[in-house]
Amino acid sequence: MNTHKTLTQYIVEQQRTNPQSTGDLSGLMNDIASACKKISHLVNRSGIIGIGGVADSENVQGEVQKELDIITNDVMVDHLNWTGHLAAMASEEIEEIIQIPDNQPKGKYLIAFDPLDGSSNIDINLSVGTIFSILRCPEGVTSPTVEDFKQKGTEQVCAGFCVYGPTTMMILTTGNGVDGFTLDQDVGEFILTHPKMTIPEDTAEFAINMSNQRFWEPPVQRYIDECIKGVDGGREKNFNMRWVASMVAEVYRVLTRGGVFLYPLDTKPTTQGGKLRLMYEASPMAFIVEQAGGVCSTGRERVLDITPEGVHQRVPVILGSKNEVERIISYHQE
Ligand code: AHG
Ligand code: MN
Ligand code: MN
């Protein structure tokens, strides 16, 4: 019989490797896991309980919100704002920094999250997810502002994401490799099923939204053109293509079988400067991808080295198998 480690055991063991640990990060990780279990349950039942539709509102980026965007944001806030591990939160769905209520203790961490990634996939029953990034609250700060969140991705203490797909999975890094857990729905525990995930250095699979092709810059045009032509265009192999429109599903695929994922800089009026948000999409995924041996760049700079200009800043993202991402970076340098 398989006797896998639970996420709870894993967190306790990680904590014991650091004698100075106060248990705050462990507590926070457990809180996030609880929130994600609740979200998994809600996503799974959304059709039955009638919460799978469009809400009558837009978020800070002017995107139409789904009912579940709002509900999952509330689940995250309600699970995290009273346990004493956080000093403040930032969410894709809320313009301002979310403060901890005055009657609750404040902790030493900050979190930025995308409560429901890929929410355009909700009504068609494809994978969605939750992405999070944990930072330290600067010393002595009791009411964090946007300025306190503007830390480079290299400062992250922990990053992770959940995918609500055929199974619910949690992928985590604290800077010591990447581990994957599967939710055992019967017991309500995440089980360590994918220890030490690594991204193969080479790949023959790319993921990009081809409908934006006319808006891309020349280096990306060149790279994708070469992938499509394959052995007839100078590459040593033919390429396959995927596009799920859920970053969580795409990064999970890259972590398991390699690949490159691109949401590049484009001139499309709605996504100028890139579509994905630095602090709760690009940066946590960059931490995970690098920890698994991959590369994550805008094409011009390492995503983890970007100093954020704002909590909802967008950046271009090119991530995945090392040799392919480095090839794309070299096309940007030529
Ligand atoms: P969100 O649902 O949180 O707004 O994020 C969706 C993101 C990302 O998950 C995905 O890779 C991308 O947007 C898809 O964009 P297109 O619809 O432009 O392909
Ligand atoms: Mn998202
Ligand atoms: Mn989202």
CA distances from 300 to 61, 189, 218, 313 (A): 24, 41, 13, 17
pLDDT for the residue 64:
83
- The answer to whether the CB of 71 falls within 8 A of the CB of 51 is yes
> Cα(281)–Cα(279) distance, rounded to whole angstroms?
6
Q: Phi and psi dihedrals of 256, rounded to 5?
A: -95, -40
CA of 225 to the centre of ligand 3 (A): 30
Neighbouring CB atoms inside 10 A of 288's CB total: 28
* Closest by CA position to 91, among listed 166, 169, 35: 35
Among 76, 94, 212, 276, residue to substitute to test ligand 1 (most atoms within 8 Å of Cβ): 276
Share of the chain above pLDDT 70, in %: 100
Q: Could you tell me where the DSSP H helices lie in 93-230? A: 146-149, 218-229
Q: Is 192 in the pocket of ligand 1 (CB under 6 A)?
A: no
- The answer to whether the CB of 265 falls within 8 A of the CB of 217 is yes
What is the Cβ-side half-sphere exposure of residue 263, based on CA atoms within 13 angstroms?
23
CA of 245 to the centre of ligand 1 (A): 5
- The answer to whether the CB of 75 falls within 8 A of the CB of 39 is yes
DSSP 216: B
- The answer to whether the CB of 103 falls within 8 A of the CB of 81 is no
Give the closest residue (by CA) to ligand 1 atom 6. 118
Residue-wise pLDDT for 174-227, tens only, equals 999 999 999 999 999 999 999 999 999 999 999 999 999 999 999 999 999 999
Overall average pLDDT of the 61-65 stretch: 82
CA of 285 to the centre of ligand 3 (A): 14
Instruction: Indicate the residue type of 269.
Output: P
pLDDT for the residue 247:
98
Neighbouring CB atoms inside 10 A of 308's CB total: 19
Closest atom, ligand 1, to C-alpha of 120: 2
Dihedral angle sign, alpha carbons of residues 90, 95, 96, 100: negative
pLDDT for the residue 56:
78
> Cα(332)–Cα(330) distance, rounded to whole angstroms?
5
3-state secondary structure of 14: helix
Residue 34 has pLDDT above 90, yes or no: yes
Overall average pLDDT of the 252-260 stretch: 98
> Cα(212)–Cα(265) distance, rounded to whole angstroms?
10
pLDDT for the residue 186:
94
Q: Is 245 in the pocket of ligand 1 (CB under 6 A)?
A: yes
All structural domains of the chain, each given as residue ranges with its CATH number in brackets, are 7-194 (3.30.540.10), 205-333 (3.40.190.80)
pLDDT for the residue 55:
84
Neighbouring CB atoms inside 10 A of 274's CB total: 21
> Cα(243)–Cα(225) distance, rounded to whole angstroms?
16
